[in-house]
Amino acid sequence: MITTLVAGLALAAPSFQSDWTPARFTPEVLAKRVDDRLATLKKATLKYHFIYQKATFGHGESVCDCTFVDPNRFWIMVPKLDPAKESEGIENETWVADGKNFGKAVLPKDAVPGPMANRPKVPAKALSAWFTNFSKVILAGVGRPTKPLQSLVADARRQGFRTVAETRSFPYQGRTFVSHRLTLSKGPARYEIVVDPRGDVPVTITNTIGKDFSRWVQVDWNLRPKGKEYDPNNARFLKGAPAPNTVLKPRRP
């Protein structure tokens, strides 16, 4: 199991802040590692805590669960937030696939089966969607080679962002842990993705634009779950899919 215990500790501890060093690989290479991993996920689970705060929105949080049976059979929860309708708050949208059909649902409706071709696509301008809907950008790459993070890095370069890949190793409880970090920055905008190289999956995401921020925290990957529900032969449309959460209204300070 991969958890954010060590990654979160390292990010929070001042003594670790200056430990990042330039990586021997490019941002594009790190992005490709994550994209390739997401495109081939199977028998894995993910739980993450999404936090969103803007002066025009207030503070909102959402907890999402995901299960990946194989690249074409999964149920994924992602926060759904329309920047033009921020006052409506955050909903959790559920994506479900059974190998032949795909469905997308927001409370109170159940997912309706449709063609697999209707799965969400990576935005053509990934950077413009990143701050608000980075969960949907990343997870649009599950089960297929759509290259969301590589698209993000390419889009950032086109818009004049500085892109950096860094690495760090640090001791914790008698073991040495390694983390990689992808950073995109320009002016008041700074986007950071910390990757655990043991699974090439993102374990912490921190986006800031001035005083506004969006984050993935308490990210828990289990890349070796047990149980028959992870057997592709037992996967069925909607079987075991978590129900979408209620609408989460923004909380004002």
Tokens describing residue 60: 């909102």
Domain assignment present for 253: no
Q: Report which residue type is found at 148.
A: P
Q: Can you give the CATH number for the domain in which 113 is found?
A: 2.50.20
Torsion, Cα 14 18 22 23, to 10 degrees, reads -30
CA distances from 67 to 25, 136, 244, 245 (A): 30, 15, 14, 16
What is the value of pTM for the model shown? 0.87
Domain assignment present for 165: yes
Q: pLDDT tens-digit profile of 106-121?
A: 866 778 888 999 999 9
Domain assignment present for 204: yes
Tokens describing residue 137: 């950008």
Q: pLDDT tens-digit profile of 54-65?
A: 999 999 999 999
- How many independent structural domains does the chain possess? 1
The parent domain of residue 201 ranges over 2-234
Calculate mean pLDDT across residues 34-48. Answer: 95
Alpha-carbon distance 137 to 127, whole Å?
9
